[in-house]
Amino acid sequence: MKKDVEKMFNPALLMRADLRDLKPYQPHHYPGTIKLDTNENPYPFPPQALDEISAGLKDVCFPRYPDPLAVALRRDIAAYVGMQPEQVLVGNGSDELIFNLALSFGSGGKVVLATPTFSMYRIHSQIAGAEAVAVPREPDFSINAGEIIKAARITGAKLVVLCSPNNPTGNATPLQVIEEILRNTNAVVVVDQAYLEFGGENCVPLLNKYANLVILRTFSKAFGLAGLRVGYLLADPKIIKELMRVKQPYNLNSFSQAAARIALKYLPAFKNQWQKIIADREQLLSALAVLPAVQIFPTDANYILFTTAIDAGVVHRELLARKILIRNLGQDMPGYLRVNVGTPAENKAFMQAMQEIIYG
pLDDT at site 18: 84
Whole-angstrom distance, CA of residue 270 vs CA of residue 249? 31
pLDDT for residue 5 is more than 80: no
Mean pLDDT, range 191-195, rounded to an integer: 98
pLDDT at site 291: 96
Grade residue 4 by pLDDT with cuts at 50, 70 and 90: low
Mean pLDDT, range 118-126, rounded to an integer: 95
Mean pLDDT, range 154-183, rounded to an integer: 98
For 284-342, the pLDDT digits (tens) are 999 999 999 899 999 999 999 999 999 999 999 999 999 999 999 988 899 999 999 99
Whole-angstrom distance, CA of residue 338 vs CA of residue 319? 12
Closest CA to 340 of 130, 37, 5, 125: 37
pLDDT at site 3: 58
pLDDT at site 174: 98
Closest CA to 173 of 204, 210, 202: 202
Helix (H) or strand (E) holding 307: strand 303-308
3-class state of residue 107 by DSSP: coil
pLDDT at site 167: 98
Whole-angstrom distance, CA of residue 341 vs CA of residue 158? 36
pLDDT at site 292: 93
Looking at 68-144, list the stretches that DSSP marks H as alpha helix, in order from N- to C-terminal side.
Answer: 71-81, 93-105, 119-127
Q: Of 23-27, 122-126, 226-230, which range is least confident? A: 23-27
For 42-78, the pLDDT digits (tens) are 999 999 999 998 888 888 888 999 999 999 999 999 9
Contacts of 348 (CB under 8 A, 6+ apart): none
Residues of the chain within CATH 3.40.640.10 domain(s) are: 55-265
Does the structural domain 2-45+268-359 have CATH classification 1.10.8.100? no
pLDDT at site 9: 86
Residues of the chain within CATH 3.90.1150.10 domain(s) are: 2-45+268-359
**Which one of 3.40.50.970, 3.40.640.10, 3.40.50.300, 1.10.357.10 gives the CATH number of domain 55-265?**
3.40.640.10
